[in-house]
Structure 1
Amino acid sequence: MKHAIALLIKFAMVTVILEIILLTFTNLEFWNIFWISVTVSLLTYLLGDIIILSSTNNTLAIIADIGLSFFLIYMFNYIWFDSEVTFVSCLAASILLGIGEQFFHKYVEKNVYHKTTYA
């Protein structure tokens, strides 16, 4: 259940960021961005948050999430031929997702992995 809640939180964050950036800078429609959000959320959660974050540190997980997000968003250019996600809009969305991941990873470490940091 902890993973389901974390995944829903991540999906909400990804969807809001991608809707703002991609609706503003591309000709994608809501449902196209919704499917991009589903894909990015699932794959970055599985690879970035479960595998990388649990075995390394927050910085490496954020870098991996930014890179994977950029790759996935940009690859949707090849799925929908009538759309064009520009390099700049893809980069902006990925960087904003990376900023959001900073806070999301703290949530995951505390509530999913039960890691505590001591000052």
Structure 2
Amino acid sequence: MEHAKALGIKALMTLVILYLVLGLGYQADFGDVFILTLLLGVISYIAGDLFILPKAGNLIATVSDFVLSFLIIWGFGLMLNISNDNLVSGALFSALLIALGEWMFHSYMAKNILHDSSKEI
């Protein structure tokens, strides 16, 4: 149940950011934004939050989330032909906002999901 709640928080944060940037800024369909949210959420939760965060800490996990978010958003945007004008800028801005949210989300993960007080996050 803890993982479901964490995934829900992460999904809501990501959906809002992606809809504001890609949906409103680049006229991406809500369905595409939703699918991208699910894809990005599952991959970054497993890779960044469950694997990298406990081993390397918040800074490395946040940087990893930024890079992963940028690559997935940009690649998905290219595949869907989301307003190719300045797609790199939109992907960078989205990834930056997601990384800022992830910085705070990692504190929640450390306290409520990972339960590892021996590692400073």
Instruction: Answer whether TM exceeds 0.5 for this pair.
Output: yes
Structure 2 match to 1:88: 89
Aligned residues: 118
2:101 corresponds to 1:111: no
Unaligned runs of 5+ in 1: none
2:22 corresponds to 1:15: no
Structure 2 match to 1:28: 28
Amino acid at match of 2:34: F
Residues 2-25 of structure 1 show CA distances to partners (whole Å, capped at 9, x for unaligned) of: 111111110111001101111222
CA distance in 2, matches of 1:94, 1:41: 12
CA distance in 2, matches of 1:7, 1:86: 26
Q: CA RMSD in A?
A: 1.7
Residues 40-98 of structure 1 show CA distances to partners (whole Å, capped at 9, x for unaligned) of: 11100010000100111100000000000000001113421364371111100000001
Unaligned runs of 5+ in 2: none
Q: Secondary structure at the match of 1:109?
A: helix
TM-score under structure 1 length normalisation: 0.91
Equivalent residues of 2:49, 2:106 under 8 A apart: yes
1:86–1:97 CA distance, 2 compared to 1 (3 A): same
Q: How does 1:42-81 map to 2 (within 5 A)?
A: 42-81=42-81
Quote the sequence identity (%). 32
Q: Which 4+ runs in 1 deviate beyond 6 A?
A: none
| Larger helix proportion of the pair | 2
TM-score under structure 2 length normalisation: 0.90
Q: Secondary structure at the match of 2:114?
A: coil
